[in-house]
Amino acid sequence: MKIFNTLAMFGILLTTGAGAQTTLKDACKNDFLIGAALNESEFTGQNSNAVAIIKTQFNTISPENVLKWESVHPRSGEFDFTAADRYVEFGEKNKMFIIGHNLIWHNQTPRWVFQDDQGNPLGRDALLARMREHIFTVVGRYKGKINGWDVVNEAVNEDGTLRESQWKKIIGEDYLLKAYQFAQEADPAAELYYNDFSLENLPKQNGAIALVKKLQAQGVPVAAVGLQGHYKMDWPTTNQVDETITAFSKLGIKVMITELDMDLLPAPTRNQGAEVAMNFALQAKLNPYTNGLPDAVQQKLAQRYADLFSVFVQHRDSISRVTFWGVTDADSWLNNWPVKGRTAYPLLFGRDYKPKSTFAAVIGVVHQ
């Protein structure tokens, strides 16, 4: 893409030129909100270098882990909002659009949630009561502060069927409807989202479309779908992304890119997606860039980001938000998934807290 090369050089000049830095939130202001997922060292202010980036560059934040069930509701009858409160305070203080991630998921949900006091599987009514208590307590606490919630996360399988999570096994298919109804009741003004990965693959996409349609028919005001955006260099294609955004926006909902990052490290398996249960042994050939990314690879990465953001900008009327899953490469979950202890380069800021050429690439295509 010739245009990008010129723009990217322009972007690099902008970012390295004395004082004249374009920020992501300025560059994207006519297109969509732009954000990042934060970890505890960031929203508590401990990592001051990252905080400087967050305040300057982003206008929306997501909590990487602190609002998940295991964090806020570790034991029956016991809630712990210590970290979550700090996250929300950070967002309020900096006037950011604050995302809640997430209410109902098969992961990072303690085993006790699905068991009675004797360790036997819970029945439908008891689990529904537990779900209601959780959603009312968490959403209720941040009513009017958290602007949008990932109500159900990752409920669909690759083939489009519903995941056989404990939620589905015990409650049945309508656990989804119930979760959205509880969230809506707990904060009627909050936006309610469905969030998942690999929705660019047609069978899964069709499953999610059916799910959203069903919720809509049942009266749930689904505000948006979150395409997580855990992407690889060659998957999904920009055409797939383009078609996916079109398909969901036809449902009359917004599309958000909620967990964007780019995995360019060698894949230990042909499996795509973001199935957190995957874990492979570390081998040197799977971790080739421990001393930095070669220029040629860095350029390909920047081009990939430029290509993707070109698609996002074309769909700016449908896209409400683009959020990266982390601030700098050092934070990324991809350093530890699906192989622990690798050196990953998935984001716009490097381990030195400096913008990379991916940053210039994004600024180059959104800022026109």
Q: How far apart are CA 154 and CA 196, in angstroms?
A: 5
Name, in order, each residue with C-beta under 8 angstroms of 184's C-beta and a sequence gap of 6 or more: 190, 192, 220, 221
Q: Of 192 and 274, which CB lies nearer to ligand 9MR in the complex structure?
A: 274
Could you tell me which of 81, 53, 78 has the C-alpha nearest to residue 66? 81
Helix segments in 187-236, DSSP class H? 202-217
From the list 42, 154, 191, 200, the catalytic residue is: 154
Cβ-closest position to ligand 9MR: 333
Pairing mode, strands 148-153 and 191-196: parallel
Q: How far is the CB of 67 from ligand 9MR (least distance, A)?
A: 10
Q: How far apart are CA 326 and CA 328, in angstroms?
A: 6
Distances (CA, A) of 87 to 58, 84, 94, 186: 15, 5, 11, 20
| Beta bridge pairs of residue 254 | 224
Q: Of 33 and 260, which CB lies nearer to ligand 9MR in the complex structure?
A: 260
Q: Of 31 and 331, which CB lies nearer to ligand 9MR in the complex structure?
A: 331
Q: How far is the CB of 222 from ligand 9MR (least distance, A)?
A: 18
Q: How far is the CB of 227 from ligand 9MR (least distance, A)?
A: 11
Q: Which of 276, 286, 297, 330 binds ligand 9MR (CB under 6 A)?
A: 276
Q: Of 273 and 364, which CB lies nearer to ligand 9MR in the complex structure?
A: 273
Q: How far apart are CA 89 and CA 340, in angstroms?
A: 32
Q: Which of residues 125-184 bind ligand 9MR (CB under 6 A)?
A: 153
From the list 64, 191, 200, 259, the catalytic residue is: 259
Q: How far apart are CA 5 and CA 24, in angstroms?
A: 18
Question: Number of H helices and number of E strands within the chain?
Answer: 13, 9
Q: How far apart are CA 333 and CA 211, in angstroms?
A: 28
Q: How far apart are CA 368 and CA 360, in angstroms?
A: 13
360: tokens are 């210039």
Phi, psi (deg, nearest 5) at residue 78: -125, 115
Q: How far apart are CA 95 and CA 55, in angstroms?
A: 10
**Should residue 64 be labelled a site residue for ligand 9MR when binding is judged by CB under 6 A?**
yes
Q: Of 49 and 65, which CB lies nearer to ligand 9MR in the complex structure?
A: 65
Q: How far is the CB of 347 from ligand 9MR (least distance, A)?
A: 12
Q: How far is the CB of 110 from ligand 9MR (least distance, A)?
A: 13
Q: Which of residues 332-351 bind ligand 9MR (CB under 6 A)?
A: 333
Q: Of 223 and 276, which CB lies nearer to ligand 9MR in the complex structure?
A: 276
Q: How far is the CB of 126 from ligand 9MR (least distance, A)?
A: 25
Q: Which of 15, 60, 205, 228 binds ligand 9MR (CB under 6 A)?
A: 228
Number of residues this chain uses to bind ligand 9MR (CB under 6 A) = 10
Any idea what DSSP says for residue 111? Answer: G
Any idea what DSSP says for residue 115? Answer: B
Q: How far apart are CA 250 and CA 315, in angstroms?
A: 12
Name, in order, each residue with C-beta under 8 angstroms of 230's C-beta and a sequence gap of 6 or more: 197, 259, 260, 261, 263, 273, 274, 325
Whether 154 sits among the annotated catalytic residues: the reply is yes
**Should residue 200 be labelled a site residue for ligand 9MR when binding is judged by CB under 6 A?**
no
Q: Which of 83, 211, 222, 274 binds ligand 9MR (CB under 6 A)?
A: 274
Q: Which of residues 100-129 bind ligand 9MR (CB under 6 A)?
A: 107-108
**Should residue 257 be labelled a site residue for ligand 9MR when binding is judged by CB under 6 A?**
no
Q: How far is the CB of 194 from ligand 9MR (least distance, A)?
A: 13
Whether 259 sits among the annotated catalytic residues: the reply is yes
Known catalytic residues are 154, 259
Binding residues for ligand 9MR, rule: CB under 6 A, are 64-65, 107-108, 153, 228, 259, 274, 276, 333
